[in-house]
């Protein structure tokens, strides 16, 4: 089970959908899939590649606007 799916099970605020890119080429094209895994957050940002859990969660929060980028000092 992917980390995104585990996050969705743990929180009602997270929804996850896993799609086999080769079986759904129209979705692959729509979301610009050129490498897998590709994680899309709120249809506005994405990243490619498997990340360690801490980096995955941080990247998702950043793309959702809930956490400042890693190189930005907190207020």
* 28 DSSP β-pair partners: none
Are the beta carbons of 8 and 15 closer than 8 angstroms? Answer: yes
pLDDT, tens digit (0-9, with 9 covering 90-100), for 1-26:
689 999 989 988 888 888 888 999 99
Mean of per-residue pLDDT scores for the chain: 86
What pTM, to 2 d.p., does this model score?
A: 0.72
């Amino acid at each position: 089970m992917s980390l995104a799916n585990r996050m969705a099970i743990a929180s009602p605020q997270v929804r996850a959908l896993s799609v086999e890119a080769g079986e759904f080429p129209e979705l692959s094209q729509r979301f610009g899939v050129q490498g897998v895994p590709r994680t899309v957050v709120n249809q506005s940002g994405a990243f490619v590649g498997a990340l360690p859990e801490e980096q995955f969660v941080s990247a998702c929060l950043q793309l959702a606007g809930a956490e400042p980028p890693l190189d930005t000092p907190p207020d």
